[in-house]
Amino acid sequence: MKQEQSRVRQIQATEQHAGQRLDNFLLRELKGVPKSLVYRIIRRGEVRINKRRAKPAQRIITGDVVRIPPIARQTKINTPKVPDTLIQDIENAIVHEDDALLVLNKPPGLAVHAGTGIDYGLIEALRLGRPYTPFLELVHRLDRQTSGLILVAKTMDVLRQLHTLIRTNAMDKRYITLLHNRWQGSARWIDFPLKRLKSQPGQLRQVVIDHAHGDEAHSYFRPVRKFANHTLAEVKINTGRTHQIRVHAAYIGHPVVGDERYGDFTADRANRSLGLKRQFLHATQLHFQMPESGKRYRFDVSLPQDLQIVLEHLENL
């Protein structure tokens, strides 16, 4: 495949760019450039904002000047081959759509975007199924094996507003999860800071509790139903750290049932008769009000059948 060598580019951010993460901005500007290369040039300091080094998560402000170094880009972009059945399944998973956003009830087992070893995810399939929709961007993420509500913005302005709601804890996000062990007492806040460890090629991403250097993370666990050796809980999160619920739950001695990274592997093997084939975690509620229009949104989806069956088995033990 032929490549072209680009020149240094100086892009002045407009209102349409405001609020974007630097990495997402570059991925849109550098079509055909591998994601790994984009992060490499940021890490090496070759990308600058107002002549200063920047990090991938830095938010762009109107008027910022972003320097993009000369890089080789592919003249032909490989479009992932997404099965037509998956594109249709994703369309069927839409629970709400208007001019501002899409809301989907993501099925388990589907990544939200392409990544290492994953050619496509929900957002790539959604874009392929809607080639005439000019803008579709994930507002937040869910783990591959987590089901439930996820937001997709249809304009940059809406994306910026929704990111503001998330950063200011103004979006009510709730999950239903099944935890190992019987919960003692009532609901409680878990506020242990989290740190994402650097992963080596071929290794799984790992998140740990780090009181000295971690980012603040707040999770509110409320027991809904108690079984002999399990607890069904609702979890409200005021921050959206990677693997937040799973790491907090494991740290307090109630790992998420079926969690292959932070869970109780011995107990999960003993519970195979429950029929669970993934982690028991479902994004069940999203409530928020748009800052500019004042429009209120409220979305609630029930547990999918595979998780309902697990609860029925527990009730019959």
Provide φ and ψ at 69, rounded to 5°: -75, 165
Distances (CA, A) of 159 to 138, 152, 154, 249: 8, 8, 8, 30
120: containing domain:
84-157
Provide φ and ψ at 3, rounded to 5°: -130, 150
CATH number of the structural domain spanning residue 38: 3.10.290.10
133 and 243 housed in the same domain: no
Confirm whether 235 is domain-assigned: yes
50 and 102 housed in the same domain: no
Confirm whether 277 is domain-assigned: yes
147 and 218 housed in the same domain: no
Confirm whether 118 is domain-assigned: yes
216 and 303 housed in the same domain: yes
Confirm whether 163 is domain-assigned: no
95 and 142 housed in the same domain: yes
206 and 182 housed in the same domain: yes
Q: Is 300 a catalytic residue?
A: no
Cβ-Cβ contacts under 8 Å for 148 (sequence gap 6 or more): 105, 106, 142, 175, 282, 283, 284, 301
Confirm whether 164 is domain-assigned: no
Confirm whether 151 is domain-assigned: yes
Confirm whether 134 is domain-assigned: yes
Which of 102, 123, 157 terminates a domain? The answer is 157
Which of 74, 103, 133 terminates a domain? The answer is 74
205 and 149 housed in the same domain: no
Q: What is the pLDDT of residues 179-212, one digit of tens each?
A: 999 999 999 999 999 998 876 655 567 888 988 8
CATH number of the structural domain spanning residue 88: 3.30.2350.10
| Selected catalytic residue, list 98, 99, 119, 143 | 143
Which of 20, 54, 74 terminates a domain? The answer is 74
Give me the pLDDT at residue 82, please.
85
How does pLDDT run along the chain (317 residues), one tens digit per residue? 444 455 788 888 877 677 888 988 888 888 767 788 888 899 889 999 999 999 998 998 888 999 998 876 544 445 678 888 999 999 999 999 999 999 999 999 999 988 777 788 899 999 989 888 888 999 999 999 999 999 999 998 999 899 999 989 999 999 999 999 999 999 999 999 999 887 665 556 788 898 888 899 999 999 999 999 999 999 999 888 889 999 999 999 999 999 999 999 999 988 888 889 999 999 999 999 999 999 999 999 999 999 999 999 998 87
122 and 259 housed in the same domain: no
Q: Which amino acid is present at 15? A: E
273 and 248 housed in the same domain: yes
236 and 104 housed in the same domain: no
Cβ pair 72, 64 in contact under 8 A: no
Distance of alpha carbon 267 from alpha carbon 213, whole angstroms: 32
Distance of alpha carbon 27 from alpha carbon 117, whole angstroms: 18
141 and 179 housed in the same domain: no
Give me the pLDDT at residue 9, please.
86
287-292 long-range Cβ contacts below 8 angstroms, 24+ apart: 287/171, 287/172, 288/162, 288/165, 288/170, 288/171, 288/172, 289/170, 290/100, 290/158, 290/161, 291/161, 291/164, 291/165, 292/157, 292/161
Quickly count: other Cβ atoms within 10 Å of residue 181's Cβ.
17
112-118 long-range Cβ contacts below 8 angstroms, 24+ apart: 112/138, 112/141, 112/142, 112/144, 112/150, 113/138, 113/141, 114/35, 114/80, 115/35
Cβ pair 177, 35 in contact under 8 A: no
How many domains are there within the chain?
3
Give me the pLDDT at residue 8, please.
83
21 and 65 housed in the same domain: yes
Question: What pTM was computed for the model?
Answer: 0.77
Distance of alpha carbon 254 from alpha carbon 272, whole angstroms: 18
Cβ pair 262, 247 in contact under 8 A: yes
